[in-house]
Amino acid sequence: MNCLKVNNILVIIFLFLICSLVLAENPFSYLSPRPGANLVSVQSSILMRFPEKLKAKMDPSQLRVEINGNKSGSHEGKLLFSNNQETYIFKPDRRFATDETVNVKILFDLKEKKNEFSYQFYTSAIAYQDQEVIRELAHEDVPLKTVRTTPNRTTSVINGVAVPSDFPPISISILEETAPGKLFLATAGGSPYIMILENDGTPYFYQRLSGFSRDFKVQPTGTLTRLERGEIAGYVEMDSSFRIIDTLRCGNGYGTDQHEAQLLANGNFLLIAVDVQYVDMSQLVEGGSPDARVIGNHVLEHDPEGNVIFEWRSWDHFNILDAEHVNLRDLLIDYVHMNSIAVDYDSNLVISSRHLSEVTKIDRITGEIIWRLGGKHNQFQWVNDLDSISYQHDVRPVPGKENQYTIFDNGNYKSPSYSRAVEFLIDTTNMTATKVWEYRHSPDRYAYAMGNVQRLPNGNTLINWSGNPDPIATEINPENEKVYEMDFSSFVGSYRTFRFDWSGISEAPYLILEKSDDRVTLIFNKFGDTKVKEYVIYAGLEPNPSTPVDSTADTWIDLSDFKYNEIYYFCVTALDSSGNESEFSNEVSTLINFVPPGENMILNGAFEDGDLFWELVVEGGASATGGVEEEMYHIMIDSSGTSESDIHLMQGELSLQENKHYLLEFDAFALSPRVIEVKVGKASEPFDNYSQIGFTFIQTSLNSYSYPFEMTFPTDPEAQLVFNCGSEDADVFFDNISLKEDLAASVSKKDNSLPQRYHLSQNYPNPFNPLTMISYQLPMINDVELSIYDVLGQKVATLVSEKQNAGYYQVQWDASGFASGVYYYRLNTASGFVKIKKLVLLK
């Protein structure tokens, strides 16, 4: 063989080895899960994108994926091609096993040449997301304002629009002409509402929700979206008639985070995923827990059918140790706390990660990080700005200005702390971040959580301060001159506030029922419709009532002619001037049990009619039955569950009015000494505890218990009484249950007289993070000490130590520097009054 032939053979072999090496190094521009990835969801799909130079040579019909788990075995599946013509999706026919190694082989043809690429990833040790943690996160950054109660209000009408008694009063200041449009927001604190307001505060639309919501806004698609908890546990999309037309949830088995939903013009949508994993933190930090629950956040893009076509996982890119000011020794660690996603001018993604104090730009094709601004891995030099950013929210590209971004900088860890709206110009050549604009209130405001900045089409800027410092929203012009402010005058904030042009019209009236001592009030509005002449009210003793009982040109009506102890059903229609009748409203119902002031609101409290009007709820793995024995209610417990609420006896439809005093009394005993939890509170999220009673020790002999409380929350016509009896096995007996308005106490408070007795209320909220409010009252001047103790009985904080006059007091405890756990607070006076209650700090 001559030298030329030998050399040619060597060249061919060399080229073959080079080609093989290239394939071994991953031929894809994007692959998910990434080779070697850990903590992968057991419900993951395989996502693949080829670079342009390979796409032209590829035969898609020959693409195959072979998967084998070392526990779950071989997986068949379905291969899809995404609507963006970029991503191949292989959906396995079943879940992977937990904590297993998954081997993936991808076979494809390049110009009739067969190729393959093999790699491994490793699944998570959990099969399902921790929904309890996801619910906790929903309230983690809701600010606590000082409670500002307002006098009890009957039905209010704002420029012809009736609102319920718990609708937060609105304060407006219009200084100059604003940008066009209406205000959009979801309330935080008080009863949960989504609402659209005219500039003068007139509601264009509102809806009272059964639970916590946020991020209510108009999408580029022209539809509305908002967070929806409960069974949906994701986002809902609403059309211009305010009807739900779709639900949006994270795919690949993740929980849906509450901070962001972005709908795209092509029908795709972006969500933030919540991914709770067990991590041995003792290997990462001294004193760390070996079984800590660590919360990851991921960016997921979905196609219109809900298939994940892009996944960017924090586990692959962010180090847990980079979390700023997060206690890495806690049992629950939220190390990212991603709170916004935005599509940049070049179609890549920009995200905000609060607990990293970082803004990150991500390549939407490859999934790689393009740049990092702020935090421990900041790549930029700050120009014209000494403070950088700290625990920020809501990063948005500025419309029409490439490489410029607005940020709501909460400023938690600046000294002193202050919040601002700020705009930076990012220069990736010189690696500088230049502050080109900011707005700071004078004097400074500090919003420790939430907030957003929206640059409006006319150049104005809307700033949402979240409600922690007043007001909620400020609009300024390009010269930083204030043109508009809006606030609520009660205990209400807003995660984000927006301004959008909007002209939706509901197809049917929206109906809310309120019940007082002697009447039923119906409140109804056909939102956006200026042609309504009158409303027709339908009522009956069966669902779907078809008999009209009244009509009115107002947007509310009082009704009082009913049979007692019957359930009535109501709905409403709207008539225009031509006599055209709209669709029926939503249906509402109520038990007619009007109670005069001072009389017992509890029906069958002595159980003379068996268990009528009472409901025993057993859940969470508990096992129990209930029934009436010798006119006492007996809860027979076989298995107590893990939480007090796993077994609870309850009665609802109780009408409580703001600023009035109430007295809850009952008799009880247990087969062995035990603790129960007694609550009078809201029947839906956020399940506010109106009575703030806390835990009650029940003995083996029949005893009477009496708890006075003041209704410091907005009026609630549908409150509930709950006896939580889970977590302990001893049977419990109840009798003579009574809830009455305490007329003497209500008159005393109304006349501004001094308290008649000592009282220490249960802290609120409880559990809390990191702020809670403790209330107490003194009937005479006294030396007072209010202190906090840990579970070992060691005093860890003193909140009050001074002589105080008779009166009502509220003290806030900021537990930012304390670890999660159970604590006790003790009120001690020189006159001998001592009271101790438990509180729970949950970070």
| Res. 822 pLDDT band, cuts 50 70 90 | confident
- CATH 2.60.40.1220 occupies which residues in the chain? 27-122
- For 131-143+178-500, CATH gives 2.120.10.30
- Measure CA 612 to chain center: 35
| Res. 782 pLDDT band, cuts 50 70 90 | confident
Taking Cα atoms as reference points, which of 603, 611, 601, 652 lies closest to residue 633? 611
Report the range of poorest mean pLDDT among 336-350, 374-388, 603-617, 683-697.
683-697
| Res. 134 pLDDT band, cuts 50 70 90 | low
- For the record, the structure tokens of 33 come out as 């899960």
- The predicted-structure confidence for 277-303, as pLDDT tens digits, reads as follows 999 999 999 999 999 999 999 999 999
Say yes or no to pLDDT of 385 above 50.
Answer: yes
The span from the CA of 205 to the CA of 400, in Å, is 31
- For the record, the structure tokens of 840 come out as 């729970």
Percentage with pLDDT > 70 across the chain: 92
- The predicted-structure confidence for 671-710, as pLDDT tens digits, reads as follows 999 999 999 999 887 788 899 887 889 999 999 999 999 9
- The pLDDT mean for the chain works out to 89
pLDDT at residue 137, rounded to an integer: 58
**What's the rounded mean pLDDT across residues 15-27?**
49
- CATH 2.60.40.10 occupies which residues in the chain? 510-591
pLDDT at residue 326, rounded to an integer: 94
Q: Would you call 54 exposed, middle or buried from its count of C-beta atoms within 10 A (0-12, 13-18, 19+)? A: middle
- CATH 2.60.120.260 occupies which residues in the chain? 615-750
| Cis bond upstream, residue 717 (ω within 30) | no
pLDDT at residue 668, rounded to an integer: 96
247, 270, 334 from 142: Cα distances, Å = 24, 23, 15
Strands 332-334 and 292-302: parallel
- The predicted-structure confidence for 585-638, as pLDDT tens digits, reads as follows 999 999 887 777 888 999 999 999 999 999 999 998 899 999 999 889 999 999
pLDDT at residue 65, rounded to an integer: 96
Which residues, listed in sequence order, are joined to residue 619 by a DSSP beta bridge?
Answer: none
- CATH 2.60.40.1930 occupies which residues in the chain? 759-841
| Res. 558 pLDDT band, cuts 50 70 90 | very high
- For 510-591, CATH gives 2.60.40.10
**What's the rounded mean pLDDT across residues 828-832?**
86
DSSP letters along 390-438, please? -S-EEEEEPTT-TTEEEEEE--TTSSS---EEEEEEEETTTTEEEEEEE
The span from the CA of 497 to the CA of 462, in Å, is 8
CATH 2.60.40.1930, applies to 759-841: yes
Report the range of poorest mean pLDDT among 358-372, 478-492, 496-510.
478-492
Are the beta carbons of 267 and 303 closer than 8 angstroms? yes
Given its phi and psi angles, is residue 355 left (phi above 0), alpha (psi -120 to 50 degrees) or beta?
A: alpha
In sequence order, the 6+-apart residues with CB closer than 8 A to the CB of 490 are: 148, 149, 150, 168, 169, 190, 714
Given its phi and psi angles, is residue 757 left (phi above 0), alpha (psi -120 to 50 degrees) or beta?
A: beta
**What's the rounded mean pLDDT across residues 830-835?**
84
More reliable by pLDDT, 190 or 162: 162
- CATH 2.120.10.30 occupies which residues in the chain? 131-143+178-500
Return the CATH fold of 615-750. Answer: Jelly Rolls (2.60.120)
**What's the rounded mean pLDDT across residues 157-168?**
91
Pick the CATH number of 27-122 from 1.10.3720.10, 2.60.40.1220, 2.40.10.340, 1.10.287.3510: 2.60.40.1220
Say yes or no to pLDDT of 10 above 80.
Answer: no
**What's the rounded mean pLDDT across residues 177-196?**
92
Report the range of poorest mean pLDDT among 1-5, 86-90, 159-163, 404-408.
1-5
Q: DSSP strand E in 150-268: where?
A: 156-158, 161-163, 170-174, 182-188, 193-197, 203-208, 217-218, 224-228, 234-238, 244-248, 255-263
pTM, two decimals, is 0.78
Residue 14, SS3? helix
